Chain A
Amino acid sequence: MQSGLLNIQGGNTYVNLLVAFQLFCAAILVYYLQQVLTCYGVCCSFFSLSIVLSPCKKIFWESLSPVTLDMGRGPEFRGSILCFSHLTMSSGIAHAVQECLFRATQPNLMALISTVIMVMAFTYLKGLRVDIPVTSKEQLGVRGSFTIKLLYSSHGPFLAQVLFCFRQLHLT
């Protein structure tokens, strides 16, 4: 999915129409995906699926993109996993590790590892909770617990302000 700011200064109308058509098809595809997921029992709304889409696309492209870039050292892949495997096969594992972890110009493996670590941290935070022991006034000896989670409130308003203040346009 690609969002494009229509190049007002120089593009012709056919390119702009194509971009608009691409966005339209992307929205249709997301709708179909949501219908398929509903058939399998996963109830997610179209809106939340569209929000999940943007980081998923970035992760996918930054790790597996086959676009090559030539900067004087021969063609290197833009995707980090592909670049790692390519360099391992061509010049040995030590150089590949040192190159792929700390590449400055292109997405590197450090970003992928940090994403995984951050997902684990978020999952850990979601499980933090406090139990209040409660008993029933009607029946004696019944003991239960009422949980209060750390991430107690929902984040609808946060989403609203993100959409209002932090959406970006991209030039084609």
Chain B
Amino acid sequence: MKALSQGWYVFDPKTTNILYRLLGVWKQDEENPNELIAISGLCYWLTPPTWNTISDNQWQAAVYIGYILAICVITSHTSVHEGEKEHSPESVADDLLGPTYLTLAGKHEDSDKALRKEVCRLVSAATILGALAMGIICVICDIFEITGGGQSMLLAMESVHDTYDAWYNEQYELRKSRIENSLWETQSRD
């Protein structure tokens, strides 16, 4: 959307079409002459604020922060509850209670119901709080002008961490299977 608006503005800088002006009016940046900054329109309200621009217009910063936090919470909530049914709290509780015969430890009246209640409570809290934490990191990155801006930094770190986790788990599984195989060999020899 942003690219579309920028492209149209470069194509015809004096457009009077109300739709394109609502979408965004752009001007050339002084510091990097290769980039465009939005002056007004929807894209202006969605540009990340920095220390310098936060004193000009506090409302823009507030709108941007609200938008990022809202988007994080909404996407997190939909991906857990309405998306793939693997992570929703009901299916997690069913997984635990059903095939694996696990239930909550400690003294409870009905362990199954207690486990289900605990899982639902924790997963709801985890989705919202986790999303808020990610949103806050994103906004802080934007305000302190960390290289790359909030969203790209967030996504990059998340992909790096996911790749590292996958690699580590794979090594762990390999090591475990190697140990098990060697034990099996020693047992069969004896």
Contact = CB atoms under 8 A, between A and B. Distances in A.
A44 B79 contact: no
Which of B6, B7, B101, B159 has most A Cβ within 10 Å? B159
Contact of A166 (B7, B87, B151): B151
Contacts of A130: 122, 126
Contacts of A42: 163, 166-167
20 contacts: A54-B148, A55-B149, A112-B147, A115-B147, A118-B137, A118-B153, A121-B137, A122-B157, A126-B161, A132-B104, A133-B104, A134-B104, A135-B102, A150-B130, A152-B76, A153-B76, A153-B87, A157-B75, A158-B155, A161-B71
A165 B147 contact: no
Interface of A: 5, 8, 41-44, 48-49, 51-52, 54-56, 58-59, 62, 105, 107, 111-112, 114-115, 118-119, 121-123, 125-126, 130, 132-138, 143-144, 146, 148-159, 161-162, 164-172
Nearest to B106: A133
Contacts of A59: 147-148
Contacts of A150: 126, 129-130, 133
A158 B75 contact: yes
A51 B11 contact: no
A118 B139 CA distance: 12
B167 A41 contact: yes
Contacts of B149: 55
B147 A44 contact: no
Given A42-B163, A152-B127, A115 B156 contact: no
Nearest to B76: A153
Contacts of B71: 158, 161
A153 B127 contact: yes
Nearest to A51: B155
Contacts, number: 185
A136 B101 contact: yes
B45 to A, nearest CB: 11
Contact of B160 (A52, A107, A158): A52
Contact of B156 (A54, A121, A164, A166): A54
B18 interface: no
Interface of B: 1-3, 6-7, 10-11, 28, 31, 33-36, 46, 71-72, 75-80, 83, 87, 96, 100-106, 115, 118-119, 122-123, 126-127, 129-131, 133-134, 137, 140-141, 144-149, 151-163, 166-167, 170-171
Nearest to B48: A166
B101 A137 contact: yes
Given A41-B167, A54-B156, A146-B96, A115 B127 contact: no
A156 to B, nearest CB: 7
Nearest to B26: A169
A172 B118 CA distance: 56
Contacts of A157: 75, 78-79, 83
A172 B103 contact: no
Which of A8, A115, A155, A170 has most B Cβ within 10 Å? A155
A122 B144 CA distance: 16
Given A56-B156, A137-B101, A153-B76, A162 B96 contact: no
Which of B104, B119, B147 has most A Cβ within 10 Å? B147
Given A43-B170, A121-B137, A132-B118, 6 more contacts: A51-B156, A55-B153, A130-B126, A153-B77, A165-B46, A171-B36
